[in-house]
Amino acid sequence: MDMNLLNQILGIAFEKRVSDLHFEVDNPPFFRARGQLLRSKLPRLTAQDTEFIAKTVMEQNRRTLPDNLRELDASYALPNGGRFRVSIFRQRGAIGIVMRVIPPHVG
């Protein structure tokens, strides 16, 4: 996982108007659309992938990922303006992440 791939995945989610993205170890990213979880065709994520995503989010928030992470909330913004509410948590010893798309226009 690298910054370009992460932003590409998030950009697709924002454009397709999915509500959430789920990142967990040993599974590909999942998209939630119209209440359904949809498995992407991307490769399965490793512990290093989810840690990279979490650290990237935290860096944008000018924070560091705590060693004793249980769960925390943050935000993430794409260069093109797409925004996400982010939940980062430890699940079965690995980092998991759920990113909720914040619609550009509420209402």
Question: What does the DSSP 8-state code read for residue 47?
Answer: H
Q: What is the pLDDT of residues 15-36, one digit of tens each?
A: 888 999 999 999 999 999 999 9
Structure token digits, residue 4? 């370009």
CATH ID of 3-102, from 3.30.450.90, 3.40.50.300, 3.40.190.10, 3.40.190.290: 3.30.450.90
Alpha-carbon distances, residue 59 vs 16, 43, 96, 98, 99 (angstroms): 26, 25, 17, 17, 16
Q: What is the pLDDT of residues 55-80, one digit of tens each?
A: 999 999 999 998 899 999 999 999 88
Evaluate whether 29 touches 16 at the Cβ level (below 8 Å).
Answer: no
Q: What is the mean pLDDT of the chain?
A: 93
pLDDT > 90? residue 103:
no
Query: What is the Cα–Cα distance from 34 to 54, expressed in whole angstroms?
Result: 26
Q: Tell me the three state secondary structure of residue 84.
A: strand
Kindly report the number of other CB atoms within 10 A of residue 6's CB atom. 20
- Residue burial 18-29, b: 16+ Cβ < 10 Å; e: rest: bebbbbbbeeeb
pLDDT > 60? residue 107:
no
